[in-house]
Amino acid sequence: MRIGFYQFFPIFGKKVKNLKKIEETLAKVNVDLIVLPELCSTGYSFLSRQELSKYAETIPAGETTQTLINIARKKNLCIVAGLAERYDNHIYNSAVLVKPDGKVKIYRKAHLFYKEKFIFNKGNTKFLVHSFNNIKIGVLICFDYIFPEATRSLALAGAQIICHPSNLILPYAQKATITRAIENRVFFIMANRVGQEKRGSKHLKFNGRSQIISPDGEILVKAGPKEEKVKIVNIKPELALDKLITPYNDVIKDRRTELYSK
Ligand code: ACM
Q: Who lines ligand 1 at CB under 6 A?
A: 38, 113, 142-143, 167-169
Distance 112 CA to ligand 1 centre (A): 7
Catalytic one of 15, 109, 136, 231: 109
- With the most atoms of ligand 1 within 8 angstroms of its CB, the residue from 40, 92, 167, 206 to mutate is 167
**pLDDT surpassing 90 at residue 94:** yes
Q: Decide if 38 is catalytic.
A: yes
51 assigned to active site: no
Rg (CA), the chain: 17
| Residue of the CA atom closest to atom 2 of ligand 1 | 143
Our count of domains for the chain comes to 1
User: Is 142 annotated as catalytic?
Assistant: yes
Rounded CA separation 75/190 (Å): 22
pLDDT tens digits along 192-214: 999 999 998 889 999 999 999 99
Taking the CA of residue 44 as reference, the ligand 1 atom at the shortest distance is 3
Q: How far is the CA of 111 from the centre of ligand 1 (A)?
A: 9
- The predicted pLDDT at position 262 comes to 82
Averaged pLDDT, 169-178: 97
Q: How far is the CA of 180 from the centre of ligand 1 (A)?
A: 16
Kindly give the number of the ligand 1 atom that is closest to the alpha carbon of 144.
2
Which residue in 142, 163, 197, 231 is the catalytic one?
A: 142
Range of the domain at 147: 2-259
pLDDT of residue 154: 98
Which of the residues 21, 38, 136, 197 is marked catalytic?
A: 38
**pLDDT tens, residue by residue, 201-255:** 889 999 999 999 999 999 999 999 999 999 999 999 999 999 999 999 999 999 9
Residue range 37-60, pLDDT digits in tens: 999 999 999 999 999 999 999 999
- What CATH number is attached to the domain comprising 233? 3.60.110.10
Residue type, 101: D
